């Protein structure tokens, strides 16, 4: 099993240049016509790249960010590749029009992600595919939970959420799975944060952050005239996993831009939150993403974060970090145990990797019944 290596803001089994070389040979196969460096459209300077897929049946523009332009190119390309797989690589249904009540499932189907106002019950007839239970064995899952795209001709009802939550890629199958599970834990944390009163939320003083890479990111934002509002969204049930949300505000727009991240390393979790917020701002500036809300372009829609420093220092937020695994297999096993303990149900995985690309990268969709998820991945503010 490949050993994990630490790079700025991330841990991977391959150097980003190696990953970029491997995925570049496949870009045309997935309809990616362009990787565009849009970093210079903003004044902050955090690298952001967009990947363009003109024939996508979901989003035709995906974004990526990272410590360097290479990191950002890899991130953008893999985001687009993930979506292609969710559109085209989900297996055909093995069972069609069967209700969950007629099946011997290892979970409760209504614990899966659902759209607002869902009418799902265990009597609703669905199409099913096989998924691997990450503690061992197999089970059936609704195909609609893994498939994305607007090409279907059959009405499927207002039930399951077809989201990218748990859709992830990596250099190996285990790396992709770890990324997917961390994403689902992150979304569970931010959903819980939305229910927490503002007065009880823990905000972190950006000036107290001592991790060199995160401190550099904060300096870039400060130098550009921006403000950051960092919230510790970690939940006690995710032992050894840090989660942060970040709100970025700058005086040249009337919008607030958010990001979130979860990882055993608090520094990696925070770096993901900050760079995602910067990526969201550049997405707004470029204006090319399909699902942008036009209300974001109205002046005065967001207040700046409070001017006074937050009372919680970084040292308090990281006083109980998790131990870093040597391999993705070890980290995957740890996350599977945490999720199974928290929900009472083992997470499941649908491997979407194409055989001809398996030596270069992997794509998975994980399903974790019982974990919360906010529609459109909205991030609640920690102050007003």
The pLDDT, as a whole number, for residue 310 is: 60
| 243 in Cβ contact with 201 (< 8 Å) | no
> pTM for this structure?
0.93
Closest CA to 41 of 279, 276, 230, 261: 279
Q: What is the pLDDT of residue 384?
A: 42
Which two three-digit tokens encode residue 80? 């687009």
Going from the C-alpha of 3 to that of each of 74, 162, 187, 306, 328, the distances in angstroms are 20, 33, 27, 42, 8
pLDDT computed for residue 383 by the predictor: 43
User: What local confidence, expressed as pLDDT, does residue 317 receive?
Assistant: 82
Q: How does DSSP classify residue 309?
A: P
Determine contact, residues 49/75, Cβ cutoff 8 Å: yes
Helix or strand or coil: residue 197?
coil
Three-class HEC string of 155-176: CCCCCECCCCCCEEEECCHHHH
Counting as low any pLDDT under 50, the low residues of the chain are: 307, 309, 382-384
């Amino acid at each position: 099993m490949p050993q994990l290596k630490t790079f700025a803001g991330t841990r991977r089994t391959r150097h980003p240049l190696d990953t970029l070389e491997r995925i570049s040979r496949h870009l045309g196969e997935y309809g990616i016509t362009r990787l565009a460096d849009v970093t210079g459209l903003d004044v902050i300077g955090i690298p952001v790249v967009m990947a363009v897929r003109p024939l996508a049946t979901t989003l035709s523009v995906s974004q990526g960010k990272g410590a360097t332009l290479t990191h950002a190119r890899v991130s953008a390309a893999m985001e687009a590749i993930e979506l292609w797989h969710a559109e085209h690589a989900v297996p055909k249904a093995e069972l069609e029009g069967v209700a969950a009540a007629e099946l011997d499932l290892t979970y409760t189907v209504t614990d899966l992600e659902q759209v607002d106002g869902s009418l799902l019950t265990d009597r609703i007839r669905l199409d099913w595919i096989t998924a691997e239970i990450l503690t061992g064995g197999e089970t059936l899952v609704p195909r609609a939970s893994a498939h994305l795209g607007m090409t279907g001709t059959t009405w499927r009802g207002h039930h399951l959420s077809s989201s990218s939550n748990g859709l992830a890629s990596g250099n190996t199958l285990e790396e992709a799975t770890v990324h997917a599970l961390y994403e689902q834990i992150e979304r569970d944390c931010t959903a819980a944060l939305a229910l927490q009163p503002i007065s009880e939320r823990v905000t972190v003083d950006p000036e107290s952050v001592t991790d060199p890479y995160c401190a550099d990111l904060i300096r870039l934002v400060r130098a550009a005239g921006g403000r950051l509002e960092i919230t510790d969204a970690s939940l006690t049930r995710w032992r050894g996993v840090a989660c942060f949300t970040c709100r970025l505000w700058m005086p040249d727009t009337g919008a607030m831009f958010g990001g979130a991240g979860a990882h055993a390393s608090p520094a990696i979790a925070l770096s993901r939150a900050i760079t995602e917020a910067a990526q969201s701002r550049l997405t707004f500036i470029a204006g090319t993403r399909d699902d942008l809300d036009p209300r974001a372009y109205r002046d005065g829609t967001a207040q700046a974060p409070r001017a006074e420093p937050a009372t919680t220092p970084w040292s308090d937020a990281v006083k109980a970090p998790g131990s870093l695994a040597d391999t993705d297999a070890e980290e995957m096993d740890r996350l599977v145990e945490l999720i199974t303990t928290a929900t009472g149900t083992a997470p499941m995985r649908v491997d979407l990797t194409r055989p001809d690309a398996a030596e270069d990268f992997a794509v998975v969709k994980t399903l974790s019944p019982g974990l919360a998820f906010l529609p459109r991945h909205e991030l609640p503010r920690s102050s007003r």
